[in-house]
Structure formats: C-alpha cells, structure tokens
Amino acid sequence: MEENKELEEKKSGNFIELEIDKDLASGRFDHVKTRFPPEPNGYLHIGHAKSILLNYGLSQKYQGSFNLRFDDTNPTKEKEEFVEAIRRDVEWLGADYHNEIYFASNYFQQMYEAAITLIKKGKAYVCELSADEIREYRGTLTEAGKESPYRNRSIEENLKLFDDMKNGKVEDGKMVLRAKIDMAAANINMRDPIIYRVAHMTHHNTGDKWCIYPMYDFAHPLEDAFEGITHSICTLEFEDHRPLYDWVVENVGFEQPPRQIEFAKLYLTNVVTGKRYIKKLVDDGIVDGWDDPRLVTISALRRRGFTPESIKMFVELCGVSKANSSVDYAMLEYCIREDLKLKKARMMAVLDPVKLIIDNYPEDQVEWLDAENNRENPELGSRKIPFTKELYIEREDFMIDPPKKYFRLFPGNEVRLMNAYFVKCVDYKTDETGKVTEIHATYDPATKSGSDFNERKVKGTIHWVSANQSKKVTVRLYENIVDEEKGKLNEDGSLNLNPNSLCVLENCYVEPELAKAKPYDSFQFLRKGFFCVDAKDSSPEHPVFNRIVSMKSSFKLNK
Ligand code: ATP
Ligand code: MG
C-alpha cells in the first residue's frame, strides 16, 4: 500500500507536465506532440528508455502524438543495423510510433532552404576562417569574441558562395556557413555558430546527393519544427543551447515554433551507460555483444529477462528532475522482482548439487507429486514433479557440523523437502578431501505434502530435484560489471571492471518441466532468484538460464 502511494505521487505531475499545462492554458499550443530522436550510432540503453517512456507518456497523457525520428544528419557514423535495433527496442517498450519512422536526413532540402532564408534575411554568412581561427575568434567565458572579417559580405556574395559549397566547388574545411548573431554574447553558443559545413562524404540515406551537412544545433530545431513538435524534451547538457534553438526557429520564421525543455539524464550506479564505453566493451570482447546480459542496453535487459513493465515502473520511480544524480541499480532490481513476483511460476532448480539418497524409498519408483506454481497467485495453476530415490539438493543445505540456528539438513536432523516429504539425515559420505559426496536419509510416507499430517513439525524446508528425472542445464549468475565502490573508472580512464561479473555454472539440475522453456521465458527458482532462458545460447538439448535477479534485496522503497 505504502509503495503504491509513493508511485502515485511520482506519477502525478512532474515539472515538464506543469510547463505543458501552462502552455496549453496560455494558448501557446492547443495540443501536444513529442518525439524521441536517437542518433543511429549504437544501441539504446536504460537512459534512452527513460527518454522514450517520458516522451511517449506525455503524448499519451495529453492525447497527443509521438514521433520516432532518427537523427541521422551526421554522415560518418550511422548504420542500418542500429536503426533496426532501435525500432525493436522502442516497440518492445510499448511506445507506439504507428510504424512510421522519420529521418532527419529526409529534411536536407528543407534545411538547405532554411539556410537560404537566413542568408536572404542577412542572418547568415559564409566564413572562410580556418577551424583554428574560428576557435580563436570565439573568445572565452570571460572575454568577448572577435568578428570574422567575412561577416559583412553582401547577401548576393553569400548566396553565391553557399551555392558553391553545395555544388561541390569547395574543399572540406575551406568554408562554413555561420549564423550572424552576436560575437559578444555571454552565451558562447550564440557567437556566430556554424550551421553548415562542407563534407564530401557518402550518407547512408541520401548517398552522394549532398556535400554540405547541417550542424546539430541548426538541424535539430528545424526537424522539430518541420514535424510540428510542440515540446522538444532533451537532456540538461542542451540547456545552454536553448537560446540558439529558439533563435533558429524564430529567424527561419515558424509560426508556432516548438519549445525545448530539459531534464536530467538518468545515471545508474555499477553499470555502464555511455555508448562509447559500451562499444569498447563490445569491441574488446569483454562482453558477448551489445545485448550481453551484464549491460543495460535495452536489448541486454530484454535478454536478461527484464520486462517493459519493470522498466516503466523504474522510470516512474526515478521521476523527472532538473538535477543530475545517480540511481541505485538495486532500485531496478526491486522493480523486476515486484513485476515478476506474482506472474511467474516458482520452480525448483539445484545450482550446486549434492546427492541425497532416500534409503527406504523403492529403487525404481517415480512418484509424480503436485506442486502449486505460485502460492500467492492460484491462477498460475499447478504442475507435477517427479520424486525418486535419488535426489539432488543444494550443497549449502547440508552441514556435517552445523552452527546453532542452522535448520537445514545435518546428521540426525529432519527437514521438509518442498512439495514432498519429511526426510531425516541418517548418514553421509565424503571423499579423501573431506568433501561430501552423498547424503543418506529416510523419508516418512505419512508426511506427504498436502496431507493433513500434524504430529510433528520441522524447522527447515529445502528444495530438491530428482537425480535421474531432472534436466541438466547451464546457469549464469551475474554481478555488476563495474566496481563502483572503488570508483567506476581507473586512473587511466578505463573502466574498473568487476572480475566476478559473470559466473557460469555448468552442473545445474532443474525440474523436467523446465526443459520445454523457450527463449525469454522466465521463472522463479525457489530461494535462488528469477531466471530467464538465454535467447542466444540456449537450446532444447542444452538449456541456458540467466539469473535476472536474486531474491535478496538491499533496496528499500521508502528510504
Ligand atoms: P549516449 O551519450 O549515452 O550514447 P546520446 O545522447 O548520444 O546518448 P542520442 O541517440 O543522441 O544518444 O539520444 C537520444 C535521446 O535520448 C536524446 O534526446 C537524449 O537526450 C536522450 N538520452 C540519452 N541518454 C540519456 C540518459 N542517460 N537519460 C535520459 N535521456 C537520455
Ligand atoms: Mg548523441
């Protein structure tokens, strides 16, 4: 109840909604249209998920619309592979873009015309200073910039030179088109920023049609304006660029220019979100691709077994803020546990097996016992599990010489085998190193699970699987990929990787029912956590389960 209240509070009105409310009340806009504008140069991560859900959520809340637009104005980096991956991720998160995608590069002609408009208004000029000179002339935070000697060319000359730039008559770097704003502006972004550059490069969409390309700060506001976006939501680092955004849409002459609103990026502890770092982990072979379950790309979270609902819940709990901060990874784990708790069957799997032999149980008998799938959600029904003379239990559930308060199996002690019988340990065997190789017990037929036996109680309940009726599988356990305690980065700027981030267990046994599981299916393994069938490496012959999250939580919602 408490938890829901907190969620509700977070949901009702973040500061962006308050701004939108004002805009609707003042008549600045009579509808809401948002967009998500990824650059197709990598896979989306949890931070992008926040942006997607925020933008899409606003369009839903105000019964407006939402565009998915690829910001592909930069001809060097974009790749088709990323376009497809991004579409899949946006769809998976449930942000409906009506199967219609927009490409910034489709506006190159209109952007070019917008540049011409500025030149004709005397608001843009062709500059021939070198890149170094432009930097030098720009000035500093404390010193005004100097005007370019090319600043006062005639409109005719500017039109002619811009035409030369466009027609391939100018080498890369020799000329740029700059907005004519104010070299003394306190905001350096307003000191005659470059809006077009010459680049003789092939673009993935427009091929060799263009050899001039617009700069981001010029292109982005235009893309928004062309699509009739009302609220252009972006992250904090663009705050200082907002005056330029406004200048562009105003001076190009849009009647109802879009409004930029900034919010703080989502950062998570113990994980890597920057594209640059993720790419390096992929390129260096430290992870097995952009969807390695230790990453927090959306495809990795999906492969790990996270659900869109859990990510939505997480993003809502994080809220929208104007101040940068890091969110504890444990909060994301809390959300997936909450989401799966009632949805998933609770099965038995033994990850570190040791044999338990029931001495008084018939040799070849297989007894199919009833097991409820989820005690807290009867709708999930029940299943049958095979009980046999030889079982596997977790090695940690037996001790030869237990400390006080150890209620699991030890010589002479009786425990409940979950969904089955009480068993009492009568003997055990060890190898020459003292390692336990098998445990012997006797069972009491009267204690069968579901019967009304109440003559005595036991303090411990342990899980098990049949030794010859179970399926052998691989299980992967994960820890965070970076070690935040010691600092995310080493002194040389490289990532401080956690050497234990992946632990592969090859000798695990699961209920036979689980052999039928398909990629992305997920389950609770009783006492061990939530697990998901790996979509890349699992096969019916050899299933591979990834641990999504353990059962233990270090996160408190009301902290
Ligand atoms: P990164 O630097 O992590 O690779 P990016 O900003 O270069 O991200 P884009 O494709 O340009 O990636 O981003 C698309 C949208 O997602 C932008 O509107 C951007 O502001 C938003 N975004 C990116 N990272 C985050 C984040 N950590 N939290 C919230 N929104 C983000
Ligand atoms: Mg970017």
**225 vs 219: CA distance, rounded Å:** 10
Same domain, 284 and 143: no
CATH number for the domain spanning 322: value is 1.10.1160.10
The helix (run of H) or strand (run of E) holding residue 70 is strand 65-70
What whole-number distance in Å separates Cα of residue 128 and Cα of residue 164?
Answer: 13
Domain-ending residue, one of 340, 374, 392: 340
Instruction: Give a yes or no: residue 91 inside a domain.
Output: yes
pLDDT at 273: 83
For residue 50 and ligand 1, the question of a CB distance below 6 A is answered with yes
Counting ligands in written order, which one lies closest to the CA of residue 38?
Answer: 1
CA of 30 to the centre of ligand 2 (A): 30
Q: Is 462 helix (H, G, I), strand (E, B) or coil?
A: strand
CATH classification of the domain holding 391: 2.40.240.10
pLDDT at residue number 105: 96
Q: How far apart are CA 267 and CA 235, in angstroms?
A: 12
Check if the beta carbon of residue 400 is closer than 8 Å to that of residue 440.
Answer: no
Print the domain residue range for 335: 275-340
Q: Are residues 100 and 126 in the same domain?
A: no
Quickly count helices (H) and strands (E) in the chain.
13, 27
Q: What is the structure's pLDDT at 1? A: 44
Ligand 1 near 234 CB (within 6 A): yes
Task: Please identify, by atom number, the ligand 1 atom nearest to the C-alpha of residue 51.
Answer: 30
Predicted confidence at residue 4, as pLDDT, reads: 55
Distance CA 147, CA 300 (A): 50
Q: Are residues 199 and 219 in the same domain?
A: no
Number of domains the chain contains: 5
Q: Is 455 in the same domain as 360?
A: yes
Locate 177 and state its tokens: 């088109």
* Cα 407 off chain centre by: 40
156 shares its domain with 289: no
Using CA atoms, how far residue 17 sits from 11, 93, 251, 401, in Å, is 10, 21, 28, 62
- Are residues 232 and 93 part of one domain? yes
Mutate to test the pocket of ligand 1, among 235, 280, 295 (most ligand atoms within 8 A of CB): 235
Q: Are 222 and 320 contained in the same domain?
A: no
Residue 441 domain-assigned (yes or no): yes
Residue 34 lies inside a defined structural domain of this protein: yes
CB 355 within 8 A of CB 427: no
432 domain-assigned: yes
Q: Same domain for 232 and 103?
A: yes
Same domain membership, residue 139 and residue 281: no
CB of residue 41 inside a 6 A radius of ligand 1: no
Is residue 496 a part of any domain in this protein?
A: yes
Considering the domain boundaries, does residue 308 fall inside one? yes
Q: What is the pTM of this model?
A: 0.92
Looking at the structure, do residues 371 and 502 belong to the same domain, yes or no? no
- The amino acid at residue 79 is K
- pLDDT tens for each residue of the chain, 559 residues long: 445 555 554 455 799 999 999 999 999 999 999 999 999 988 999 999 999 999 999 999 999 999 999 999 988 766 788 999 999 999 999 999 999 999 999 999 999 999 999 999 999 999 999 999 999 999 999 999 999 999 999 999 999 999 999 999 999 999 999 999 999 999 999 999 999 999 999 998 999 999 999 999 999 999 999 999 999 999 999 999 999 999 999 999 999 999 999 999 999 988 888 888 898 999 999 999 999 999 999 999 999 999 999 999 999 999 999 988 889 999 999 999 999 999 999 999 999 999 999 999 999 999 999 999 999 999 999 999 999 999 999 999 999 999 999 999 999 999 999 999 999 999 999 999 999 999 999 999 999 999 999 899 999 999 999 999 999 999 999 999 988 777 778 888 888 899 999 999 999 999 999 999 999 999 999 999 999 999 999 999 999 999 999 998 777 766 4
Distance (Å, whole) CA 14 – CA 242 = 20
Residue of 35, 41, 48, 103 with the most ligand 1 atoms within 8 Å of its CB, for mutation: 48
38 touches ligand 1 (CB under 6 Å)? yes
Give burial (CB, 10 Å; 0-12/13-18/19+) of 46: buried
**Is any atom of ligand 1 closer than 6 Å to the C-beta of 47?**
yes
CA–CA distance, 33 with 231 (Å, rounded to integer): 6
The verdict on 221 and 90 lying in the same domain is yes
Nearest-angstrom CA–CA distance, 79 and 129 = 32
Last residue of a domain, one of 340, 366, 394: 340
Same domain, 329 and 418: no
Residue that terminates a domain, selected from 430, 463, 496: 463
Q: Let me know if residue 346 belongs to a domain.
A: no
Residue 289 lies in a domain: yes
DSSP state of 177: E
CATH number for the domain spanning 13: value is 3.40.50.620
Helix (H, G, I), strand (E, B) or coil at 425: strand
Q: Helix 216-226 vs helix 242-252: angle between axes, to the nearest 10 degrees?
A: 60
